[in-house]
Structure 1
Amino acid sequence: MRRIAIVGLVAVALLAACGRNADAPALPSNARVKATATGLVLDRTPWWPTGFDAYQLATDWSVNVGCGAQVDLNAYFSAVPARSLTRFNLFAALAVDKKTGRADFRAVDAVFAAAARHRRMVLPVLTGGASPCEGDMFKDRSWYRSGWSSLPLGPHGTFADWVDTAVKRYRGEPSVAGWEPVGEPEPADCTAAGCTWSQRTCAADAPKVLRSFFDAVGGRIHRLDPGRLVFSGTTGGDQCGIAGDGYPLVARSPGVDVMDYHDYPDDASPTTPDTLAARIAQMRAVGKPIVVNEVGLRAGSCLSRDERARSLRARLADHRRAGAAGALLWAYVPDPRPDQCTFDIGPDDPLWKVVSDLAS
């Protein structure tokens, strides 16, 4: 048994080393996660992933500008249960030395190394639709049409260049459940510099623009990392590009394997027609699974953490019964603010027990 364990660890190390060679050709598929019409499979076993959105994992104040507080990676990955999933920001800005402005992957490498060491699964998000921690530039319709392949992001080049760099570097990692190109993509047009939701318009061709974007970028990822899943990152409601029939149009892209839905019961309108049940029905017709990759409920000064845990335990159970293929909680932070009303989930939050129970 000891010899087998050592051989297994060597194999994992070799896979990780291959994943860090950005010039290596595309590898044969070593993807551990597969998608069915209604769910996900991990290591050939049905998988209903649950865990946390932990966007801050690649923050390292000694290296990069960061995105939130710094996390003890070993403590985090040793605490999350086996067969859980962690979604985190793998933004280009987090692979840059803040002093020199040059490419520096140490902080991001550390995330994958810790995940592999503890044998936990991760879902990297390559950029955000509103560019949090990347200058807060809203990605508008022109970006999804052509800007993604023409506008520079810094030392890593365009977003297309960043996709190539990131996927080639980490495609050999055994912890990668899939890739999410953009968190909450929305190909709207801005009417003012701030481009808040009230300062946006939505062109009639927005669904087609978003579909074409996924055809190109999702296809690019599939070629670079054969067999690995691409997640849509979509919010799932009536946002520009996915409202109504736009959602299944995007879902039918060959560059998308799993559709997303984000659930914030505090903020949701009970009268919107674009509910999770409607989206699940649409995905049944398309033949692809849908995951609720953000479920957030505020607690602290406005609601006790225990009450939140009870409420979200029931909500996730409802999502599972309805046919969602998994659900992640927004958001883990190492420095929660219990005296404020926030989405913070700290290291000792009762929601950890919810995740542990569901993962098992």
Structure 2
Amino acid sequence: MTRTARSIRWAAMTALAVFFVSSVQMPATAQPASPPSTARVTAGAGGLSLDGSPWWPTGFNAYQLATNWSVNAGCGAMVDLDDYFSSLPAHSMTRFNAFQALATNRFTGLLDFGPMDAVFAAAEAHGQLIVPVLSPQDGACEGDVFKDRQWYIDGWTAPPTGSAVLSFQDWVTTAVDRWKSSPALAAWELVGEPETSTCADASCSWSTRTCSSDAAQVLRTFFDTAGAQVRALDPDTLITAGLTGGGQCGSQGDEYRYLAQSPAVDVLQYHDYGADGVPLPGDQWNGLARRITQTTEVGKPLLVAEIGELAGSCGDLDDRATSIATKIDGQKQAGTAGALLWAFVPDPRPAECTYDIGYDDPLWDLLTDFQ
């Protein structure tokens, strides 16, 4: 997600979830499809493993790592990559934006992998693990074009538009081929917070988005097809479905379990906002407890890939750290597979109400406490 305040959005998502809970017929059985054991990071019913040992990763979302204003248009502030990765506890996990726009030179309009190569190189040098997110649902830092239902049907394979050099399908091939051998690679994520909404206007606002009856099938077909493309190029690396988990179009109620059954999904996600200090937020249809049950049923781990609570002018940093510690402890005991905080930034804004986490934030101590 972008760095805007999310409490209003969370309330809207919850309302949509309750209204649009659907009754999709699900396959009776599912077989988890984990990559071969030669992968550094593997997944199973018991959670994640790193180099053959159980691993409960903690870390940050650090979306702006590939920002380099001398090359690309950027997405947030520039980060000293060595400072960031050397500050993390060993074998932490970082989820970051690996969008095509950040591999495009803003002066020439051509592909330029330098800034993204630097992220992989720095993570490798410091023994860290990273999850590249190949595209955003909301279009943040890529022209702000929201991905609607049609995009998941055929838009992702269509010729590039705007400033894009490649179609998304070709970007997936390019990215996977380039970085699949990196020892820092923990998993691939195709789209951050995917949903198959139908939009009634160009802005695709919360008030104008609806869910079609085939929303789950469309999203499952995308996971199956695009995931198979990744798997053909890189059979060793996990694929994580970057679902928000709160009942968005295509993943409401039992639809989430249906998506989890995709053979091209190894790790599921849930994004946790708007429930400060509550380990298992949400309702009986789309809450985290329900998602843990569903992923357990299909034998795949659930990563809480975004945990955000506001601070700065909204609250004390120590109080936030205590609240999030309570949340993570409860989630780990309930059976989740890891926790990533939203979001590290090198330039936190203490006078504003934000999710920013800077180097001096007490939340850094939690990364070690829960590993």
CA-CA distance at 1:341 after TM superposition: 0.9
The answer (yes or no) to whether the contact 1:121–1:176 under 8 Å persists in 2 is: yes
CA-CA distance at 1:31 after TM superposition: 2.3
The 1:317–1:304 alpha-carbon spacing in structure 2 relative to 1, beyond 3 Å, is same
Q: Find the counterpart in structure 1 of residue 265 from structure 2.
A: 256
Amino acid at match of 1:291: L
CA-CA distance at 1:155 after TM superposition: 5.0
Among candidates 101, 105, 123, match of residue 97 of structure 1 = 105
Asked whether 1:312 is paired with 2:347, we answer no
Matches within 5 A, 1:55-94: 55-94=63-102
Q: Find the counterpart in structure 1 of residue 367 from structure 2.
A: 355
The percentage of aligned residue pairs carrying the same residue is 55
Normalized against structure 2, the TM-score is what? 0.87
CA-CA distance at 1:157 after TM superposition: 1.3
Asked whether 1:205 is paired with 2:234, we answer no
Amino acid at match of 2:223: F
- Paired with 2:333 and 2:37, the residues of 1 have a C-alpha distance of 32
CA-CA distance at 1:332 after TM superposition: 0.3
Amino acid at match of 1:231: T
- Paired with 1:266 and 1:283, the residues of 2 have a C-alpha distance of 21
- Paired with 2:87 and 2:247, the residues of 1 have a C-alpha distance of 36
Q: Find the counterpart in structure 1 of residue 145 from structure 2.
A: 137
Matches within 5 A, 1:321-340: 321-340=333-352
1:122 is paired with a residue of what secondary structure? strand
Asked whether 1:188 is paired with 2:200, we answer no
The total of aligned residue pairs comes to: 332
1:337 is paired with a residue of what secondary structure? coil
The answer (yes or no) to whether the contact 1:87–1:125 under 8 Å persists in 2 is: yes
2:345 is paired with a residue of what secondary structure? coil
After superposition, the C-alpha distances for 1:1-27 in whole angstroms (9 at most, x for unaligned) are xxxxxxxxxxxxxxxxxxxxxxxxxxx
1:157 is paired with a residue of what secondary structure? coil
The answer (yes or no) to whether the contact 2:282–2:288 under 8 Å persists in 1 is: no
After superposition, the C-alpha distances for 1:54-84 in whole angstroms (9 at most, x for unaligned) are 0000000110000000000000000011021
Asked whether 1:39 is paired with 2:47, we answer yes
Asked whether 1:274 is paired with 2:286, we answer yes
The answer (yes or no) to whether the contact 1:30–1:174 under 8 Å persists in 2 is: no
Amino acid at match of 2:302: I
The answer (yes or no) to whether the contact 1:29–1:228 under 8 Å persists in 2 is: no
The answer (yes or no) to whether the contact 1:291–1:324 under 8 Å persists in 2 is: yes
After superposition, the C-alpha distances for 1:284-331 in whole angstroms (9 at most, x for unaligned) are 111111110000000011110000001101100111001011110000
C-alpha RMSD of matched pairs (Å) = 1.5
Amino acid at match of 1:190: C
Amino acid at match of 2:179: Y
- Paired with 2:206 and 2:135, the residues of 1 have a C-alpha distance of 19
Q: Which structure 1 segments of 5+ residues have no match?
A: 1-27
Among candidates 161, 173, 179, match of residue 164 of structure 1 = 173
The 1:278–1:271 alpha-carbon spacing in structure 2 relative to 1, beyond 3 Å, is closer
2:212 is paired with a residue of what secondary structure? coil
The answer (yes or no) to whether the contact 2:58–2:93 under 8 Å persists in 1 is: yes
- Paired with 2:120 and 2:91, the residues of 1 have a C-alpha distance of 16
Q: Find the counterpart in structure 2 of residue 23 from structure 1.
A: none
Q: Which structure 2 segments of 5+ residues have no match?
A: 1-35
CA-CA distance at 1:356 after TM superposition: 2.1
1:166 is paired with a residue of what secondary structure? helix
